[in-house]
A and B are shown apart, each in its own frame.
Chain A
Amino acid sequence: DADVTQTPRNRITKTGKRIMLECSQTKGHDRMYWYRQDPGLGLRLIYYSFDVKDINKGEISDGYSVSRQAQAKFSLSLESAIPNQTALYFCATSDFQGAREQFFGPGTRLTVL
């Protein structure tokens, strides 16, 4: 079984709709992250959380919100989706201890029409 899972894997929605992307992990890591990836722009950090009570904005948080429901769950919401939020979204985790390398989920491909 995958250590970091994301649902849905693909989603097509319309402008103005609210959408939630979910991430779950079984690695027991404290830290979780949401990234978006666009062609040619690399990975950009949206939000990150170091524990259940800690939520921090990344470099491109406008138009997004998050919820850390438990150590293992971190959800990303688009309150009112717009076409330029069309992208590949990744959830990642890392351990508080150790090298802090990140482990990525399989990604969600989101298309906003």
Chain B
Amino acid sequence: QKEVEQNSGPLSVPEGAIASLNCTYSDRVSQSFFWYRQYSGKSPELIMSIYSNGDKEDGRFTAQLNKASQYVSLLIRDSQPSDSATYLCAVNPGGSYIPTFGRGTSLIVHP
């Protein structure tokens, strides 16, 4: 069974710090990787996608992918209280293209 694992948290960081969120996956043939942000009671919102090994930066967000070690991470620089949310990792395996979601990591950024 394809699995995507995330630490449920909460991860608490001070405002202005770097928040590091991690995700591991079991399916070696996975091809696409996504990070979604979800505020309480709201729907998931895509914030980053990454497809090849290495880093991808978008503003304060950096996604890192290491297929050999089967992990993907999300770094949030200069964390703000508005970044406080649950972050979902999603992995698209090869073949069916049905994504598998992790259970999410709760991030709290305190002033």
Listed in ascending order, the chain A residues whose CB lies under 8 Å from chain B are 40-43, 45, 48, 58, 88, 90, 99-107, 109
Contacts and interface: CB of A to CB of B under 8 A. Distances in A.
A106 B92 contact: no
Interface stretch (B19-27, B41-49, B64-72, B73-81): B41-49
Contacts of A104: 43-45
B88 to A, nearest CB: 7
Interface string B67-111: 000000000000000000000101010000111011110000000
Contacts of A88: 41
19 contacts: A42-B101, A42-B103, A42-B104, A43-B88, A45-B98, A48-B98, A88-B41, A90-B44, A99-B49, A101-B32, A101-B34, A101-B46, A103-B46, A104-B43, A104-B44, A104-B45, A106-B42, A106-B43, A107-B42
